Amino acid sequence: LMKEIDHDRLEMVQFHQSYSYDDFVRGYRPNPAKAGSFILQNGVFYDFCHKAIRNPDREYVFVIDEINRGNLSQIFGELLMLIEADKRGPEFAIPLAYRNEDEPPFFVPANLYLIGLMNVADRSLAMVDYALRRRFVFISLRPQYESVLFRRWLLERSMNTDLVELIIERMTKLNVQIREDPSLGENYEIGHSFFLPKGDNFAGLHKDWYRGVVRTEIVPLLKEYWFDNPKKVEEAEKRLLA
């Protein structure tokens, strides 16, 4: 969106069960200068919106990781209306729940892009309700083991060609099995981040590294997937390590 790396125009937070409107928009906090009193303190999204308002000709991106881990209605509050694409700008400004005297109404500028990240495979998480869902465009990001970019990224960092092809072949086949499993499906496919090690030179990585990733990270995940079918896990592990 920004077409360049500019950390001043990028903000990221992670939602969780304790995250609140006070953290996101604004709320009253204990006053460190005066015991027993409170002051109105802006939240991270409020401040970021004003940063974007001051620079209307530049794009700003706000990313919410694990967006479905928080209580969305409670966190967004009246901002549920303001984040709609056709409700941006000062003409749609409204007073906030907590505001200073004589403070102008608040709005979300059109040059601010809001991106939410969520893991739909985690059954323990709440799904995004329809009120918030219609305010976002949903894009599924699936594993890209067969992508030219994935292969190139590993090879450019000197990973052994045979190891690269092994990862692509084995994980692609495993994901086909997961995708076709009636109890799982495409949302449970295993991503390629397991095979993106730190550093810029992978020449020292060999099949032992791959086996370690499979045994300590992939297989434990498969045991969660097929908790009632240990034989299926065992067979999948054998194919991965063959």
Residue 141: inside a domain, yes or no?
Answer: no
Q: Are residues 124 and 181 in the same domain?
A: no
Q: What pLDDT score does 33 carry?
A: 83
Per-residue pLDDT band at 127 (split at 50, 70, 90):
low
**Do residues 98 and 73 share a domain?**
yes
> What CATH number did the domain enclosing 106 receive?
3.40.50
124 pLDDT more than 60 = no
Q: Phi/psi at 210 (nearest 5 deg)? A: -60, -45
pLDDT tens string 149-178: 999 999 999 999 999 999 999 999 999 999
12 in any annotated domain: yes
Least confident stretch, 12-26, 38-52, 119-133, 216-230:
119-133
Structural domain contains residue 116: yes
Query: Percent of the chain beyond pLDDT 70?
Result: 95
Residues 161, 99: one domain? no
171-197 mean pLDDT: 95
Give the other-Cβ count within 10 Å of 5's Cβ: 7
So what's the pLDDT on residue 93? 96
pLDDT higher than 80, residue 131? no
In the structure, what pLDDT confidence band is assigned to residue 146 with cuts at 50, 70 and 90? very high
Task: In whole angstroms, give the CA distance from residue 162 to residue 160.
Answer: 6
Quote the pLDDT of residue 215.
Answer: 98
> pLDDT tens, 71-96?
888 999 999 999 999 999 999 999 99
Considering the domain architecture, whether residues 174 and 203 belong to the same structural domain is answered as yes
Specify the number of domains making up the chain: 2
Per-chain mean pLDDT for the chain: 92
Are 120 and 162 in the same domain? no
Last residue within a domain, chosen from 74, 104, 133: 133
Residue 142 lies in a domain: no
- The pLDDT of residue 231: 97
pLDDT tens digits, 90-118? 999 999 988 888 899 999 999 999 999 98
pTM: 0.83
**Looking at the domain assignment, is residue 159 inside a domain?**
yes
Q: Do 167 and 159 form a contact (C-beta atoms < 8 A)? A: no
Predicted confidence at residue 6, as pLDDT, reads 82
Q: Are residues 129 and 194 in the same domain?
A: no
Cα–Cα nearest to 43, from 13, 16, 17:
13
Tell me the range of 114-118, 141-145, 162-166, 195-199 where mean pLDDT is highest: 162-166
Please write down the HEC assignment for all residues of the chain. Answer: CCCCCCHHHEEEEECCCCCCHHHHCEEEEECCCCCCCEEEEECHHHHHHHHHHCCCCCCEEEEEECHHHCCHHHHHCCHHHHCCHHHCCHHHCECCCCCCCCCCCECCCCCEEEEECCCCCCCCCCCCCHHHHCCCCCCCCCCCCCCHHHHHHHHHCCCCHHHHHHHHHHHHHHHHHHHHCCCCCHHHCCCHHHHCCCCCCCCCCCHHHHHHHHHHHHHHHHHHHCCCCHHHHHHHHHHHHC
Q: Are residue 126 and residue 44 in the same domain, yes or no?
A: yes
> 45: which 2 tokens?
């999204």
pLDDT at 68 over 90: no
Burial zone of 75 (CB within 10 Å; 0-12 exposed, 13-18 middle, 19+ buried): buried
Same domain, 101 and 24: yes
Mean of pLDDT values over 21-44: 91
Question: Which residue range is the domain that position 213 belongs to?
Answer: 148-241
- 154, with CB counted inside 10 A (0-12, 13-18, 19+), is buried
* pLDDT at residue 125 greater than cutoff 60: no
Q: Select the more confidently predicted residue: 30 or 233.
A: 233
d(CA 163, CA 152): 13
Residues 157 and 71 in one domain: no
What pLDDT, on a 0 to 100 scale, did the predictor assign at position 130? 78
